[in-house]
Chains A and B, each alone.
Chain A
Amino acid sequence: MAGAAIVFLFLVVAVFANILAPYDYKLQSRNEPSSPRSSVRFVGSDGSLRLRPFIYAREISDPLRMTYREIEAQEFPLGLFVSGERSKLLSFFETDVHLFGVIDRSESAPRIRLLGTDALGRDIFSRLVKAIQFSLLVSPLGALLACLIGIFVGIVSGYASRSVDTLIMGVTDAMLSLPTLILILAARAAFPLELPPLSAGILMVSIFALAGWAEMARLTRGLVLSAKDREYVLAAKATGVSGPRILLRHILPNISRPLITQATLIVPAFLIAETALSFLGVGLQEPEPSLGNLLSAASELTLLRERPIELLSPAICIFLFVIGVRLLADGTKQGSVTKKTL
C-alpha cells in the first residue's frame, strides 16, 4: 500500500511537473546565487499570527561565504494556484498556473525557494521536479524495451532445441554476471560525449535496453518451460489451436504476473544507471536538469556541509522511489525483497 502511494506520488510529480515547479528550471537570478531555502513563516515580526504563510525578501550579507539576511520590512504572502510563467503541461495544454508561489509577481518581490538556488541562481526545487520528470520518462521506457527484448529471447529459448537453449542461456548468464554499469559506460564511450537532450535520452534508453534484458529472458524462459506442459496448453493443442496463438492467448496471459513484477524491479536499476551517467557528465547535460547532474553540485564540500538536505535531495528522491517500487513489487508478489539488482 505504502509502495503504491510513493510510486503514485512520483508519477503525479512527473506528470504535473510544470504546475508543481514554481519557476522555470532554466531561469537564472543573478542576485541570489547559492541561496539557502526560504523560511516560510506564519508569525510576523510583531509576534502575531498570520492567516497566510509568508516569506521575507532576502539580500546577500556576506558575498564571500554566500550568506543571506532577511529583510523584515515587508511580508510577501504565499498562495495556492497562483499565476506565473506560461508553460506547456505535457507539451499540450498551455497554462500559467503554478501550485504554489508568491502572490506578488512584481520584480521587487522575492521568489520562494523550497530548496534554495544553485550557483547560477536557478531554483533547485523546480529543477528537481523537472529532473524527476525526465528520469521517470527515460527509465520506464528503457525498462519496457529491455522487457520486450528479454521476453522475446526467453520465449525463443524456451521453445528452441536443447543446444540453442543452452547457447542462449549461456549468453544470458554471462550478461547477468557482467558489471552492467561498466558495459553501459563502454557503450556510451562509442558516442560523442556532449549530446542534445533528445539524443541523450534516446541513446540512454537504447543502451539500457541492450544491457538489461538478461534477467527478464531468464525468468520468461523458466516460466514458458513450466507452462508448456501444463494441461491447459495441452488441451489447447489437442483442439488444434496454432502454436503462436497458444503462446499469445494461453501461455503469456498466465505468466504475465511474475513478468510484470520483474519489469517493475528493472525500473529502479535503470533510474540509478541514468543518475550515474548524468552525474559523471555523460548522460543528460546542463542546462537540462537530471537527478544525476543535480547531484554533481554535492561534490563541493563547503556547500555540502552547510546545505546537505538541499544538495542531497535528488539522491533522497531516488532512495524513496526505489523503496516505493520494491514495496509495490513485494505487494504484487509475496516474496523476498532481495531479488538481485545491480
Chain B
Amino acid sequence: MFQNIASFTRRNLIPHVLRQILRKSVQGILMVLVVSAVTFALLSAAGGDAFSALRENPQVSEETIEELRRVYGLDRPIPIRFFNWLSAAATGDLGRSITFRVPVSGLIAGRFVNTFYLAAAAILFALFIAVFLSFLSVRIRSRAVQNGIDALVLVFVSVPRILLALLVLMLTALLAGTTARISAGSPQMFLLTAIALGLPLAGIFLGQFHEQLTGAMSEDFVQLARAKGLGEWTVIRRHASRAALVPLITLFGLSIGALLGGSVIVETILGWPGIGSLMVSAVRGRDVPLVMGIVLFSSLAVWLGNLVAEILQIANDRRLDASNNR
C-alpha cells in the first residue's frame, strides 16, 4: 500500500498524506484524552467505589476501608488522581484490577487480541456478504434480486445481536449430544460467534455497497469501459467497484466502535474471552481501574481504525486519479 502511495511523489502526495495523518493523530489524542477525563470524573464523582459495598460487611471496620482506599489512592482529589493515572498510563501502567488482582494492562492486552480476531473475522464476513451479493445483483440485474437484497438489508440491520447470539446458543444446544456437537473454543464456535457479531455490520455494508455499485454501473466511466469491449465482470471489478468502495471504507472506520460495543453482548452470551465480556465483569465489580483501561483501549482502537480508513481512502482515491491520467 505504501509503495503505491510512494510512486506518486511527483504530485506532492507524501507531505499531503503525512499532514492528513498528523491532523488525524492530534484529533485522536485529543479524543482519547477527553474521553478518559470525562469517564474518570464520572466514575470518581458519582460516589461509591469498589469498596463501598464493604461497608455492609460488619467484619470490616471503617478504618480498614479507609486504609484500602488510601492504598489504591482513592482518597486524593479527582484532578490529581486523573493526572497520576494519566502519567502512569503514558508509561503503560494502568494500575491493578480490583476484581482480578492483576495489572490492568496485561489483562486487557490478552483480551484485546481475542476481540481483535473476532472483530477481524466479523468484518471479513460482512465484507464478503456485501461484495458477493452486490456483484451478484449487478451481474444478474433483475428486480427480484434487487428487492431480495433490500429485504436482506432490512433484516440484517434490524436483527439485534442479542437475538443472534442466543440463536447461536440454541444451535449449540440442539447439536449437543449429536456428532456435530459444537464445543466452546472450537473453530465452528469461533465462526458462529463472528457471524453473530458481523451480521448487522453485513447489513450496513451490503446496503451501502449495493446502492453505490448499482449507481456506478450507469455512470459514464463504466459505459466507456463497456464500450472499450471489456467483459462485464472486468467492468464491475476494476471500474465500478472502485468508485463504490469510497463510502465502504469510511464505514469500515466507523464500524470499529460498533463492533466493540456489539462484542459486549455477543462475547458474554457465547463465552468468548474478549474485551466485551471483560467490560461486563469490570462493571459488575465496579472495578474503576479496569473500566478506565478498557475505555482507554477502545478509544485508541477506534482512533486507529479511523486512521487506517483515512489511509485506505487516500490510497483508493489516488489510484483513481492515476488510472484516469494513464
Contacts and interface: CB of A to CB of B under 8 A. Distances in A.
A178 B163 CA distance: 23
A192 interface: yes
Contacts of A190: 42-43, 45-46, 48
Contacts, number: 179
Interface in A174-193: 174, 176-183, 185-193
A139 to B, nearest CB: 13
Nearest to A272: B160
Interface string B151-168: 001110111111100110
Contacts of A176: 254, 257
B139 to A, nearest CB: 21
Nearest to B52: A192
A33 to B, nearest CB: 20
Main SS of chain A's interface residues? Answer: helix
Contacts of A319: 158-160, 163
Given A182-B279, A187-B42, A279-B162, A338 B204 contact: yes
B251 to A, nearest CB: 7
B191 interface: no
B291 interface: yes
A326 B159 CA distance: 11
Contacts of A187: 39, 42
B249 to A, nearest CB: 14
Contact of A186 (B30, B43, B207, B284): B43
Nearest to B27: A170
B261 A181 contact: yes
B166 A298 contact: yes
B162 A295 contact: yes
B37 interface: no
A301 to B, nearest CB: 4
B173 A338 contact: no
A304 B166 contact: yes
A205 interface: no
A341 B169 contact: no
Given A182-B260, A338-B208, A326 B154 contact: yes
A326 B158 contact: yes
A322 B157 CA distance: 9
Nearest to A308: B170
Interface string B258-301: 11111011001100000010011011101110010011001100
A282 interface: yes
B204 A318 contact: no
Contacts of B256: 177, 179
A234 B298 CA distance: 45
A336 B284 CA distance: 39
Interface residues of A, number: 53
A342 B258 contact: yes
Contacts of A192: 48, 52
B261 A179 contact: yes
A108 interface: no
B34 to A, nearest CB: 7
A312 B262 contact: no
Contacts of A235: none
A3 B278 CA distance: 37
A276 interface: yes
Contacts of A174: 27, 31, 34-35
A13 interface: no
Contacts of A275: 160, 162
Interface of B: 27, 30-31, 34-35, 39, 42-43, 45-46, 48, 52, 150, 153-155, 157-163, 166-167, 169-170, 172-174, 176, 203-204, 206-208, 211, 251, 253-254, 256-262, 264-265, 268-269, 276, 279-280, 282-284, 286-288, 291, 294-295, 298-299, 302, 305-306
4 closest A-B pairs (Cβ-Cβ)?
A338-B207, A181-B261, A190-B46, A315-B163
Interface of A: 170-171, 174, 176-183, 185-193, 268, 272, 275-276, 279-282, 292, 295, 298-299, 301-302, 304-305, 308, 311-312, 315-316, 318-319, 322-323, 326-327, 336-338, 340-342
Given A308-B170, A341-B157, 15 more contacts: A174-B27, A177-B254, A182-B279, A185-B279, A191-B46, A275-B162, A279-B162, A280-B268, A280-B284, A302-B173, A305-B170, A323-B154, A323-B158, A337-B154, A338-B203
